[in-house]
């Protein structure tokens, strides 16, 4: 939930703040960033760096992020590394997290690229934080009890324990939350190839897309039409594209019926398809699988994924609290042919990728665009480009005529 009643912090002031969980557990710390109340689901990330990319990732909408790295803020904030590209405009990176929980807030920014401090940016955007928290204890609590409703209270909003717990419990649960409309672009826009003429064009459904994703496609000669989450098949076909991409995004995939319907229509048209993270859950649903809420999810830049066909392991960047329920058999039948699970998490066996057996549609649960994180999976964009150029991809004109 977005922050409310936020007021700027006094420079140099360190006032009390509280991190409050729905089960009644309260951690006391000091306030930083804006002051007030912010509510959301408490989750943790194991990433050791990249806090700016994390905070500006729309997939973290309505989540209070607990960082396991002990010190946060030492590289400051810049206008280049934000992952929020709204309506085609780079606005320096809109912060989507509801709040930030850290052990040690760096007293100064020490990086040649820093343009201001993390706290300066949080104050400017009205984001509430709490520092001097035993984040190890918080993470253990979330691992034991699961991700849960939480809130950060500071300034004049710091109240008695019972009142704060009641406020936290009254908020909407992440299960059943439909958040794509909150983070999607309001207007379609185009990201052109980095160099030369476009080899192919793709419609990218923005369910919470990160700015590095169209950039990765553009580097491979693809013109990317980023379109709102409410787009229809007619909107896609009017663009005369060679393929469709479904982005990452926040919320419960069980609520994303419109995106599932569009995906089924795209598959029926034979349009090459690639999805990541939320897009993986949407493709899985379209292929007949169910989704479920994970106990505490996967969030970090060091999560190993096994490709079943080769046994190769990629270290991946991930941010998801929902997953596809594994099918009972290795393959299953769909209206578009046989489907299969292609990737699993080496840590816990979670489904990390699905595909149609003929290769015309595939998706992964992780973030091949990284930002932040390793680039082990960047070759998936190459695979998608190869699919766009395959001889059996069909023509856009033929598809439009079949509508």
Tell me the C-alpha distance between 112 and 275, whole Å.
36
Q: Select from 148, 169, 190 the last residue of a domain.
A: 169
**pLDDT of amino acid 5:** 47
Let me know if residue 293 belongs to a domain: yes
Domain's final residue, options 134, 169, 204: 169
Assess if residue 269 is contained within a domain.
Answer: yes
Whether this prediction's pTM lies above 0.85 is answered by yes
Number of H helices, E strands in the chain: 11, 23
Tell me: do 73 and 92 sit in the same domain.
yes
pLDDT, tens digit, 9 for 90 and up, residues 215-254: 999 999 999 999 999 999 999 999 999 999 999 999 999 9
Residue 59 labelled as part of a binding site: yes
Separation CA 94–CA 96 (nearest Å):
6
Whether 369 is a known active-site residue: answer yes
Q: At what angle do helices 257-269 and 278-286 cross, to 10 degrees?
A: 70
**397 pLDDT more than 80:** no
Please tell me whether 373 is known to bind a ligand.
no
Host H or E run for residue 390: none
Question: Any idea what the CATH number is for the domain that residue 99 is in?
Answer: 3.50.30.20
Judgement on whether residues 202 and 73 belong to the same structural domain of the protein = no
The verdict on residue 174 lying in a domain is no
- Asked whether residue 63 is assigned to any structural domain, the reply reads yes
Q: Answer yes or no: do 122 and 219 share one domain.
A: no
What letter does residue 200 receive in the DSSP assignment?
E
Task: Determine the structural domain holding residue 225 and report its residue range.
Answer: 180-402
278 marked as part of a ligand binding site: yes
Q: What is the band of 375 on the pLDDT scale with cuts at 50, 70, 90? A: confident
Q: What pLDDT does 188 receive?
A: 95
Is residue 227 located within the same domain as residue 248? yes
Does 322 appear as a known binding residue? yes
Is 367 in the active site?
yes
| Long-range contact set of residues 389-393: C-beta below 8 Å, sequence gap at least 24 | 389/199, 389/200, 390/272, 392/360, 393/242, 393/243, 393/270, 393/271, 393/272, 393/360
334: left (phi over 0), alpha (psi -120 to 50) or beta: beta
Query: Which one of 27, 225, 343, 367 is the catalytic residue?
Result: 367
159 and 218 together in one domain: no
Determine whether 172 is an active site residue: no
Question: Predicted confidence band at 2 (pLDDT cuts at 50, 70, 90)?
Answer: very low
Q: What is the pLDDT of residue 90?
A: 56
* Structure-model confidence comparison of residues 283 and 395, the more confident one: 283
Count of domains for the chain: 2
- Please check whether residue 372 lies inside any domain of the structure: yes
Is 249 annotated as ligand-binding?
A: yes
Question: What is the predicted pLDDT for the residue at 373?
Answer: 85
Centre a 10 Å sphere on the Cβ of residue 114 and count the other Cβ atoms it contains.
16
203/323 same-domain check:
yes
How many CB atoms are located within 10 Å of the residue 257 CB? Answer: 12
User: Do the annotations mark residue 319 as ligand-binding?
Assistant: yes
pLDDT, tens digit (0-9, with 9 covering 90-100), for 178-214: 999 999 999 999 999 988 899 999 999 999 999 999 9
Instruction: Specify whether 118 is located in the same domain as 189.
Output: no
285 and 362 in a single domain? The answer is: yes
The reply to whether 285 falls in a domain is yes
C-alpha dihedral, 120 to 47 to 164 to 22, nearest 10°? 160
Instruction: Determine contact, residues 230/262, Cβ cutoff 8 Å.
Output: no
Q: Which of 27, 141, 277, 343 is the catalytic position?
A: 277
Domain holding 230: CATH number? 3.40.50.880
One domain for residues 140 and 189: no
């Amino acid at each position: 939930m977005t922050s409310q009643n936020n007021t700027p912090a006094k420079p140099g002031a360190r006032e009390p703040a509280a991190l409050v969980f729905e089960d009644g557990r309260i951690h006391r710390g000091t306030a930083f960033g804006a002051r007030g109340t912010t509510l959301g689901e408490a989750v943790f990330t194991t990433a050791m760096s990249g806090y700016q990319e994390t905070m500006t990732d729309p997939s973290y909408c309505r989540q209070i992020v607990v960082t396991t790295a002990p010190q946060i803020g030492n590289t400051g904030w810049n206008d280049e590394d934000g992952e929020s590209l709204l309506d085609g405009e780079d606005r320096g990176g809109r912060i989507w997290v509801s709040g930030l929980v850290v052990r040690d807030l760096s007293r100064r920014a020490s990086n040649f690229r820093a343009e201001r401090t993390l706290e300066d940016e949080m104050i400017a955007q009205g984001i509430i934080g709490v520092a001097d928290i035993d984040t190890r204890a918080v993470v253990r609590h979330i691992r034991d009890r699961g991700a849960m409703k939480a809130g950060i209270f500071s300034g004049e909003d710091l109240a008695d324990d019972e009142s704060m717990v009641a406020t936290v419990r009254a908020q909407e649960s992440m299960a059943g939350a439909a958040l794509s409309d909150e983070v999607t672009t309001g207007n379609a826009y185009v990201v052109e190839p980095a160099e030369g003429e476009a080899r192919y064009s793709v419609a990218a459904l923005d369910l919470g897309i990160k700015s590095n994703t169209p950039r990765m496609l553009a580097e491979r000669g693809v013109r990317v039409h980023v379109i709102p989450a409410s787009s229809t098949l007619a909107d896609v076909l009017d663009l005369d594209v060679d393929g469709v991409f479904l982005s990452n995004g926040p919320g419960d995939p069980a609520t994303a019926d419109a995106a599932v319907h569009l995906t089924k229509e795209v598959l029926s048209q034979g349009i090459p398809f690639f999805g990541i993270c939320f897009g993986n859950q949407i493709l899985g649903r379209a292929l007949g699988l169910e989704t479920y809420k994970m106990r505490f999810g996967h969030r970090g830049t060091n999560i190993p994924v096994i490709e079943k066909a080769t046994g190769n392991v990629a270290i991946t960047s991930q941010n998801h609290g929902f997953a596809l329920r594994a099918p009972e058999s290795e393959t299953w039948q769909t209206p578009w042919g046989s489907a299969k699970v292609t990737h699993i998490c080496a840590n816990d066996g979670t489904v990390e990728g699905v595909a149609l057996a003929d290769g015309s549609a595939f998706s992964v649960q992780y973030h091949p665009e990284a930002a932040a994180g390793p680039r082990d999976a960047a070759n998936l964009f190459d695979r998608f480009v190869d699919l766009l150029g395959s001889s059996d991809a069909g023509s856009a004109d033929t598809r439009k005529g079949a509508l």
